[in-house]
Amino acid sequence: MDDVWKVLAGNLAAVALIVSIWTHLSYRFYHLPPKLRCAGLGVTMGLAAIASMLLSVRFDVGVIFDLRLAIIESAAVFGGPGAALITAIMAAGFRLYLGGAGVAPGLTAIALVFVLGSSLWFFAGRKPLSNAPSILSAAVLAGCLSITVLALLPQADFQRAVDQVGLPIVVLNFATTAAIGFFLAYFRRFTLERDILYAALTQAPDYHYVKDLKHRFVVANLNVARHNGRMRSSEMVGLTDYDLAPKERAEQLMAAEADVMRTGQALDHFEEFLIEEDKPPRWYSTSKVPLKNRQGDMVGLAGVTVDITEKKLLEQELRSSRNIMAQAMAEMSDGLAMFGPDGNIVFCNDRYRELFPKSAYARKEGAHITDIVRATVRNGERKDLPIDLDEESIQAAAKTLFINKDEVIPLADGRWLSLRTRVTEDRHVLALVSDITAMKESELSLKSFAEQMKGLAETDALTGLANRRSFDDGLQREFEAAKQTGRPLSVLLIDVDRFKAYNDRYGHLPGDVCLKSVAAAIATGVRRSGDITARFGGEEFAVLLPNTDGDMAIAIAEKIRTSIRKLSILHEDSEYGIVTVSVGATVFTPLASIGDPTELVERADLALYQAKNAGRNCVRFHRLADDYARDFA
């Protein structure tokens, strides 16, 4: 009986691998027509059915049991009759090839499942089942069909088949259908979310883009692509400024970007006048912010460029003719004010006062800049001017009026204003105020989007811990550091005891909840800066402990084991009655003769294996220096 469970579990693993490969390939080839994608799913499920038959349970001469029925039903209810037909043909063809006494019942079962699965597809409105109740219903149907088709066997073999493989066949066909359904539903939602985020970025106004450390475009919106002679945003990916601009211009842009990434200081509203080949001269305002990952490492930059030509032309017109300026002031959407050499307002438009509602009463013709600053401070209008600012500081702030500058002003009501002041030859001052709240929010949203994308690449979606790739990167980095400094480096591998039995009894969703609780307990037990807690795979977790010797590693491992046990999560199939973990620990020291960090993980895995053999719910330690394994229960 145990062999049947093992073989069918291996079946399920092979099917899961093939379906996983298909989902990733389908995302890569998203541009294919729906019919070809449907055919691709059918071929994938067909290959999964063939793999299942190759790994089948041999019941009698020419009679085999596997998971092909669940696979064919999944192809129908999650891909439609077209995909199911391809899967059924491939499965039937391979069953004919295998031959034997079970061919006729096997082909009959394939046809029956194809018809029922296709009927369920039409009953669901000709669309894939996507919610949990419908997926579980399909899984229950698969389990029922798997036991029902046993009646196709001769009467003498029917009861023996039910006794020997009935329960495993029902459970594993149910699990296979549920696993395929939930995985495909999750991947469809994940793909939709990524497509929405990508569309939001690429179709945003102005010129938005993200670059990596090598100044290559990672994401760019449609405006950037068309400005550079490309029809699609995707054509910008991987290009640098050397591919788009003359060498001198490209070097100038890269030098500015390198300075942003080197210093970590954002380039804020950098304005420049550009004369480009075959294009009219334009003014642009560019802001670029450095992007860092969750560890604080620089990973690139995000930029937004705004065409401000119209605004610059307006400023030039204002300076050239006071009458034209007065007319423009009444029509423009920005605030405009002119100060005389004595610091008094000569004139200002209504918009200028509207942008500063708390100090609008002080912003009138004849008012002195010092009185305006006092009113602003007294009413707490600007975040950068505290309400308790002393008189000396107020006088100093007023004197900055006569300095050419571009600054961004954060207001207490959450708005952001761009203030540009220009001093004329006769000491008059022109102040132009723009509400840039939307642009600022766009900049912050773009930065948040880039950080989220980075987080998705390094974080396990279920537990919120670091993922395997992030752990491997940290292990390589800390291993090299440990070799150079001579400091110890410890690794813990933590495995949830009898987790498959937990999933079989309680289901995959409670299993996910269990993994989240275990992950939270592990993260709580490892709080030092520099430690890395990761989901290593399935129900296995890993902890990287820099500058930690063996005794301390064992203490931390015991703390984790105890805290998980104290969760008292019910586990009726465990010898302890609750969810427990086994922990394998090892430590790298200068005495250890290993040159590859993977060996460190292998030794921790060996210690974990010993913990499992010792009855689980314990800690085992493996010392690298003398290849000595130490028990610590």
Q: Of 434, 431, 450, which Cα lies nearest the Cα of 442?
A: 450
**Residue written as token pair 């015991």:** 558
495 three-class SS:
strand
In whole angstroms, what is the distance from residue 632 CA to residue 555 CA? 10
- State the Cα–Cα distance between residues 475 and 196, nearest whole angstrom: 34
d(CA 395, CA 397): 5
Which is catalytic among the residues 315, 381, 478, 539?
Answer: 539
Question: What phi-psi label fits residue 14: left (phi over 0), alpha (psi between -120 and 50 degrees) or beta?
Answer: alpha
115 vs 191: CA distance, rounded Å: 30
Q: Which of 336, 341, 343 is nearest to 319 (CA)?
A: 336
Amino acid at 474: G
Greatest Cα pair distance, the chain, in angstroms, is 111
The Cβ-side half-sphere exposure at 139, using a 13 Å CA radius, reads 20
**CA distances for 288 relative to 252, 270, 409, 446, angstroms:** 14, 9, 18, 11
Q: 610 phi and psi, to 5 degrees?
A: -65, -35
Task: Count the neighbouring beta carbons within 10 Å of the beta carbon of residue 382.
Answer: 21
8-state DSSP, 242: G
DSSP class of residue 127 equals: S
Closest CA to 238 of 272, 266, 209, 278: 209
Strands laid side by side in the 416-423 sheet: 345-348, 335-339, 429-435, 416-423, 405-410
Residue in 408, 400, 406, 402 with CA at minimum distance from that of residue 423 = 402
- Picking from 430, 438, 428, 432, the residue whose alpha carbon sits closest to that of residue 418 is 432
Annotation says 539 is catalytic: yes
Q: For the residues of 34-89, what is the DSSP string, one character each?
A: HHHHHHHHHHHHHHHHHHHHHT-EEEETTEEE-SHHHHHHHHHHHH-HHHHHHHHH
Neighbours of 486 (CB within 10 A): 8
Coil, strand, or helix at residue 382?
Answer: strand
Residue partners of 202: CB distance under 8 A and separation at least 6:
219, 220, 221, 222, 233
The C-alpha atoms of residue 610 and residue 579 are separated, in whole angstroms, by 19
Nearest to 355 by CA among 287, 430, 268, 432: 432
Active site residues: 539
